[in-house]
A and B are shown apart, each in its own frame.
Chain A
């Protein structure tokens, strides 16, 4: 069952979703993130408006291990304006790394930490994210990704919002260390869905965030 779940996750390929990792006080959010190296699902609860915490499952397809962790995220700073919002987040996680797909290495402690930043108006978007993961004998990983985007029209509350975006990610340990993914983001009410295609490694993407 666990393998089937992880394989399903693995089929969801490609990039990093950056969609408000801290919600409103008392809110829950499910975030599925996929990139060309790993796929993950984070379910988080926001006890206060500046931080969230929740379980995260991540499948590292290239290195054949899964990471079961708890991730806190801290909204360090939010910049407000009448027409814009900017955010700076720090996040971390710790848990157990376990071999998958025939990987017989023993389970080991693993931890990661990183930073996210974004700036958004109703028609322009930019973000950056970086993460370092240490997973004992399963390996170490560093990644960073930057994204820019624009909305061809401005939808009002409850309308379908559409964004066209481009993400460039850098993974020094990957043979294709730099990759580009153009994508389209659809956003309506509590649901955000992204679909795109990684031009460098020829992989589709499908990401989503649901807030409730």
Chain B
């Protein structure tokens, strides 16, 4: 009986905690657009990143710049950013990485959980259609909402 009471008390406490946590999460989202660049600043300490890009409210996430992506851009590859639906954890990012990395057209890839965006740089001279990107995302178990290329992917479109 004591155990039952203990269990009920714990569940009740958790039920009260969850809405509070969700509320904080929404509050965080309200500031997400403004603070995105700041959020990424701490990640620069991560050795795999050289820098990160944020996103603007009007045109969505732009290319996340890792060392591999910077290198592929320097080689002249086409930058692509795809908004991905359903990426909420590292298993999602791993799946996208595994599927896209197998393609010889892809020179560099990064899945950013903060912006829910897939950043790709193609090999010089290579091309990949929006439909192919969508099909590969399906193989990974996810869905593409929008694809941006070139200046729009870099965030430099007028």
Within 8 A of A (CB), among B62-88: 83, 85-88
Nearest to B141 among chain A residues (CB) is A49
With contacts A124-B22, A157-B93 taken as known, whether A25 is within 8 angstroms of B140 at the C-beta atoms is: yes
- Chain A: residues with Cβ within 8 Å of the partner, total of 45
Contacts of A75 in B (CB 8 A): 141
Interface contact A148-B18, CB-CB below 8 Å: yes
Interface contact A83-B116, CB-CB below 8 Å: yes
Contacts of B18 in A (CB 8 A): 124, 148, 150
Within 8 A of B (CB), among A123-170: 123-124, 148, 150, 154-158, 161, 166, 168
- When chains A and B are docked, how far (Å) is the Cα of A150 from the Cα of B86? 17
- When chains A and B are docked, how far (Å) is the Cα of A23 from the Cα of B91? 8
Interface contact A189-B89, CB-CB below 8 Å: no
Interface contact A123-B21, CB-CB below 8 Å: yes
Could you mark each residue 112-129 of chain B with 1 if its beta carbon is under 8 Å from any beta carbon of chain A, else 0?
A: 111010000000000000
Most buried by A among B91, B112, B113: B91
Interface contact B111-A166, CB-CB below 8 Å: no
Most buried by B among A26, A150, A157, A199: A157
Residue A102 at the chain B interface, CB threshold 8 Å? no
Interface contact A82-B90, CB-CB below 8 Å: no
Nearest to B111 among chain A residues (CB) is A157
Interface contact B98-A27, CB-CB below 8 Å: yes
Most buried by A among B6, B43, B83, B89: B89
User: How many Å from the CB of A51 to the closest CB on chain B?
Assistant: 11
Interface contact B140-A24, CB-CB below 8 Å: yes
Interface contact A157-B22, CB-CB below 8 Å: no
User: How many Å from the CB of B55 to the closest CB on chain A?
Assistant: 12
- When chains A and B are docked, how far (Å) is the Cα of A155 from the Cα of B110? 15
Interface contact A122-B10, CB-CB below 8 Å: no
Determine, out of A36-44, A103-111, A180-188, the stretch whose residues face the partner at the interface. A180-188
Residue A80 at the chain B interface, CB threshold 8 Å? yes
Can you list 17 pairs linking A and B with CB atoms under 8 Å apart? A23-B95, A25-B139, A49-B141, A78-B141, A80-B85, A80-B142, A85-B88, A123-B25, A124-B21, A150-B17, A157-B112, A158-B48, A158-B93, A166-B11, A190-B90, A190-B91, A199-B10
- Point out residues on A near B: beta carbons under 8 Å: 19-20, 22-27, 49, 75, 78, 80-85, 120-124, 148, 150, 154-158, 161, 166, 168, 176, 178-180, 182, 187-190, 192, 199-200, 211
Beyond A24-B139, A80-B85, A154-B114, 8 additional pairs, beta carbon < 8 A: A23-B141, A24-B95, A85-B86, A154-B113, A156-B113, A166-B10, A166-B11, A192-B91
